Structure 1
Amino acid sequence: MSDQTMSSTREVGFRHVVMAASRGLLAFERLAIMGFMYLLTALILVNVVTRYSNIPIYWIDESAVYSVVWLTFIGASAMTRLRLDFAVTMMTERLSASKQRLFKIIATGMVIVFGVSLMITCVLWMDPVGIASAGFDAKKFAGQTFNFLYTERTQTLNWPTWVLYLTLPIFAVSMTIHGTANLLEDLDLVPRVAPKGFQLSELDGVN
């Protein structure tokens, strides 16, 4: 097999892996979004009922806040793949079709750059190598690095905050995968297909 054929096979394999990962991720995000919406609704209803009954549950508010945070980041990732992220078209809509396509590719590339940058930031912040070197001893790690991420706990739930902050690296990875899938479509390297499980009208897409 020639080097050119092997290179072409690797490129096709890469595209297939990216598109398959994006599809699977989007399907999971759809279920997660529905789950968090049901959870948030239930938390709010329970909060209202218990407050009016004079038996408020003190950890409900914090649970609702973190549910909104996770719902926001998961939804933002899904919106990236669905191309529902915000776009300002005041300038590009006056350009030719070829230049509009170019700017669209640049914008999609910037999404990937942002996702990769966020991943790097999360690695530096969470420092998995450092916490592993400290034997997963949060206090020892904090004393060595003055990074108190692994010693902090939430106010009412008393959960480790790093568990809740995992939404950031998860969002960074998922957004990068979706952005790469969008870029492959924008470059006409793969056919553009309608996402399954989402019913979008012609007015829904803004990017």
Structure 2
Amino acid sequence: MNLILRSSDWIARIEAALLKLLVAAVLMLMVLNVVSRAVNWSLYWADELAINLMVVFAFVGSSLMFAQRRNFAVTLLSDAVSGATRRRMSIAVQCINLGFALFLAYACWVWFDPATLAQSGFDLKLFFEKTFNSVYQEVTNTIGVRRLWFFLVMPLFAFTLIIHSAACLLRDVCNVPATGAAP
């Protein structure tokens, strides 16, 4: 139990630092984009990179919000019930969150299909011929890097969401106060 709680807190600290870097990078790309357009020299790769970094930002930020229990919630019902009922409702919500995270991890496994990739000898052409799955081969339009590097945020999000949801569930079940989380 302690390992999951400490892992969640450690991952949340890394996510908070990563979010700061992503915000700074997106801001710099936006400023670069404005300046380059002002001098009539558009940098289309800056648009694409900023968009992809914002998607990564959204997933990392969502994971951190789950860890800190700052995700969106309608509290009309939970505010009107007793503390014990509120705790049971929170446990049910965390079970649903954990179930979603596990489903997302499974969906990422199916999408990336590492078993078939390994059976294909990590030959991307053979993998595509077997599966018609181009996840490893798609390239961004202007940056020219494989989209895989941006797609990897999905399994990372699934993993961190599993850890954070399990930690929140354990805190609710064992009545352990959250560290650094919103009340």
Q: Same fold (TM over 0.5)?
A: yes
Larger Rg: 1
Q: Deviations over 1:140-191 (max 9, x none)?
A: 11111111212211111111112210000100110110111111111125x3
2:47 corresponds to 1:61: yes
Match of 1:84 among 70, 77, 94: 70
On the 8 A contact 2:63/2:157 being kept in 1, the answer is: yes
Between the aligned partners of 1:193 and 1:78, the Cα distance in structure 2 is: 13
Q: C-alpha offsets along residues 24-50 of structure 1, whole Å, 9 cap, x if unaligned?
A: 101110110000000000000000001
Q: Is the contact between residue 140 and residue 146 of structure 2 (CA under 8 Å) also seen in structure 1?
A: yes
The offset of 1:17, in angstroms, is 1.0
More helix by share: 2
TM-score (norm 1): 0.84
Aligned mates of 1:31, 1:95 — CA distance in 2: 37
Per-residue displacement from partner, 1:89-145 (whole Å, max 9, x unpaired)? 222322222211111110011111100100000001100111111121111111111
- Asked if the contact 2:65/2:71 (under 8 Å) is kept, the reply is yes
The percent identity for this pair of structures is: 30
Does residue 110 of structure 2 align to residue 117 of structure 1?
A: no
- The one-letter code sitting in structure 2 at the alignment partner of 1:192 is P
Which residue identity does 1:143 align to in structure 2? E
Instruction: Report the Cα distance in structure 2 between the residues aligned to 1:95 and 1:117, rounded to whole angstroms.
Output: 30
CA distance in 2, matches of 1:192, 1:92: 18
- The one-letter code matched in structure 1 to 2:92 is I
Partner of 1:151, secondary structure, is coil
SS at match of 1:48: helix
Q: Out of 16, 25, 32, which is 1:30 matched to?
A: 16
Partner of 1:17: 3
User: How many Å separate the matches in 2 of 1:25 and 1:17?
Assistant: 12
- 1:179-198 to 2 correspondences below 5 Å: 179-188=165-174, 191-195=176-180
Verify: 1:173 aligned to 2:159, yes or no: yes
- For 1:9, the equivalent position in structure 2 comes to none
Q: Which moved more, 1:35-44 or 1:54-63?
A: 54-63
The one-letter amino acid of 1:79's match is M
Between the aligned partners of 1:155 and 1:48, the Cα distance in structure 2 is 20
Q: What corresponds to 1:10 in structure 2? A: none
Show structure 2 runs of 5+ residues with no match: none
Aligned Cα RMSD in Å?
1.4
The residue number in structure 2 matching 1:12 is: none
The answer for the alignment partner of 1:6 in structure 2 is none
Name structure 1 gaps, 5 residues minimum. 1-14
